Amino acid sequence: MTNEAATGTIGRYASPWIARMPFPSLHTPRLLLQPLQLADAEQIQPLFAQWEVVRYLNAQVPWPCPADGALRYLRDVALPAMAAGTEWHWTLRLLDEPEEVIGVVSLMDTPGNNRGFWIAPAWQRQGLMSEACVAVNRYWFEVLQRPLMQVPKAVDNIASQRLSMREGMRLMETGESDYVCGRLPSQIWALSREEWLNRQT
């Protein structure tokens, strides 16, 4: 890590939020989930700016991704929301490679959209996001004490759908939404705190 990154500055940008860790790191058997920091933008930019990662994300994500897209998103959207206590973003890192970011998982107090995630293609299909979701779901229901988790997704996003099904989520709503790849049938899946608690035994 460069000195600039360590002190929370990249080029001419500086973040007043970098020193604050408003919520803890989480651990899973294979992963360290570390609260997002401005310095992560450097690693996130090339991983996120890939068609396989963004195609089923909300159309608000610009494509092609601008060269400073990650930095702008972290600085202007994610870090202020973390400081305001309305969003919780963690980078995913393998426990044995803790310096390397491989994805992001997020919780949000946005109605109908409480969790988001992506993991770079090289680390997909290894059960890693399912593992990360066990930890962040626990944070949502146990620490944040939220009564319900709702997650939107494109019907074509089979991986995301299977992950929700495996978690015991139920399909609540269907419709259409605009994604980076265009307008597609969409779904909202949900899990209540009670349903989540019943699955913990």
Ligand X SMILES: CC(C)(COP(=O)(O)OP(=O)(O)OC[C@H]1O[C@@H](n2cnc3c(N)ncnc32)[C@H](O)[C@@H]1OP(=O)(O)O)[C@@H](O)C(=O)NCCC(=O)NCCS
- Single out the segment in contact with ligand X by CB under 6 A; choices: 3-11, 112-120, 137-145, 188-196: 112-120
> Smaller CB distance to ligand X: residue 15 or 137?
137
By beta-carbon proximity to ligand X, the closer residue of 34 and 161 is 161
Cα gap 164→89, rounded to integer Å: 19
Q: How far is CA 104 from CA 62, 120, 126, 188, in A?
A: 18, 9, 15, 20
Which residues ranging from 165 to 184 are in contact with ligand X (CB under 6 A)?
Answer: 166
Inter-residue contact 80 to 22 (CB < 8 Å): no
DSSP 65: P
Q: Name which position in 118, 140, 189, 196 contacts ligand X (CB under 6 A).
A: 118
User: In this structure, what DSSP letter does residue 123 have?
Assistant: G
Give the separation between CA 29 and CA 132, rounded to whole angstroms. Answer: 9
Site membership for ligand X, residue 73 (CB under 6 A): no
Q: In this structure, what are the phi and psi dihedrals at residue 18, rounded to the nearest 5 degrees?
A: -60, -40
List strands edge to edge, sheet with 170-179.
Answer: 148-154, 182-192, 170-179
**Binding residue for ligand X, selected from 119, 135, 180, 188, defined by CB under 6 A:** 119
By CB under 6 A, the count of residues binding ligand X is 21
| Piece in contact with ligand X (CB under 6 A), picked from 10-18, 37-45, 61-69, 114-122 | 114-122
| Candidate residues 39, 47, 102, 163; the one interacting with ligand X per rule CB under 6 A | 163
Judged by beta carbon, residue 19 or residue 122, the one nearer ligand X is 122
- Contact stretch for ligand X (CB under 6 A) within 41-49, 82-90, 117-125, 192-200: 117-125
- Per-residue tokens: 114: 């409480």
- Quick check: bond before 64 cis, omega within 30? yes
Cβ proximity to ligand X: between 6 and 158 the closer is: 158
In angstroms, what CA-CA distances link 117 with 11, 69, 194?
A: 27, 17, 23
Which chain residues interact with ligand X by CB under 6 A?
A: 53, 56-57, 117-119, 124-130, 153, 157-160, 162-163, 166
